[in-house]
Amino acid sequence: MPFAREENIIVKTTNPDTMAGRFRTVCATRLLSLLLLLLLPGAVQAQYTYTTNSDNTITITGYTGSGGAVTIPSTINGYPVTSIGEIAFQSNTNLTSVTIPNSVTNIGDRAFFFCTNMTSVTILNSVTSIGEEAFSWCFSLTSVYFQGNAPSVSNDGTVFSGDNNVTVYYMPLTTGWGGTFGGLPTVLWNPQMQNLGVQSNQFGFNITGSRNLVIVVEACTNLANAVWVPLATNTLTGGSSYFSDPEWTNYPARFYRLRSWP
């Protein structure tokens, strides 16, 4: 299930390296975010402790995995995961990022308290409430991405207590967002590829969006078996930046996408 809407833009350009001027198809994929949420195998689900509720939903109560970039499963034993319980991940210093699935509606008090090496959080669009100090004292946290409407918070002043360098990003067409959320600044996540074409023998495009968004441009050569390679990191100073690919002629086709940084 994709994190956000996806639009494909296909542009035909002439290949300057071929005398016959055969056409090259350059496919640019615009993604507002690139995180895919997949059902995880049983071995991964076993990294969680949980309770099965009376309505056949799951509350995650703990995590025993090795950490790193963690994607919480949307189902366990066929039941939807609807809640991240109180202190479920508290003081887990091995987490570097977490993605919370569409099935989850509630994040409990201090669920990720003192996860000091966690740099980013992605929250898909079903979360409606976040408990006190849920992400407090996560000193490395820099980015929180929300796909849906602004959730309610138990205590707006404590959700991100001690997190001094965080920006909250939200999607177009969502509601409830203001200039701050949980005491943190908010930014509309709206990058777009525009004016795709060849300049100075290099394929490129303008990236536009909210001021100072940091965007990573990635490319692959086969969408069916995609291996995405980062090409450049662009900061939208003044709301725009230009990207060009000097190696585009080395490939019969190349696909591009935008993702957040880090």
Predicted confidence (pLDDT) per residue in 54-113, tens digit: 999 999 999 999 999 999 999 999 999 999 999 999 999 999 999 999 999 999 999 999
Tokens 């409407």 belong to residue = 149
Identify the architecture of domain 6-33+190-260 in CATH: Sandwich (2.60)
For the chain, give the mean pLDDT: 85
> Which has the higher per-residue pLDDT, 17 or 173?
173
Alpha carbon distance 133, 156 (integer Å): 9
What are the structural domain ranges in the chain? Answer: 6-33+190-260, 42-188
Given this model, what pLDDT does residue 200 score?
A: 87
- Does the pTM of the predicted model rise above 0.85? no
Share of the chain above pLDDT 70, in %: 82
Alpha carbon distance 245, 231 (integer Å): 8
**Regarding the domain delimited by 42-188, which CATH topology (the fold level of the hierarchy) does it fall under?**
3.80.10
Encode the chain in three state secondary structure.
CECCCEEEEEEEEECCCCCCCCEEEEEEEEECCCCECCCCCHHHHCCEEEEECCCCCEEEEEECCCCEEEECCCEECCEEEEEECCCCCCCCCCEEEEEECCCCCEECCCCCCCCCCCCEEEECCCCCEECCCCCCCCCCCCEEEECCCCCEECCCCCCCCCCCCCEEEECCCCCCCCCEECCEEEEECCCEEEEEEEECCEEEEEEECCCCCEEEEEEECCHHHCCCEEEEEEECHHHEEEEEECCHHHCCEEEEEEEECC
Average pLDDT score over residue span 227-247 = 94
Average pLDDT score over residue span 186-213 = 93
Enter the tokens of residue 183.
Answer: 């005491």
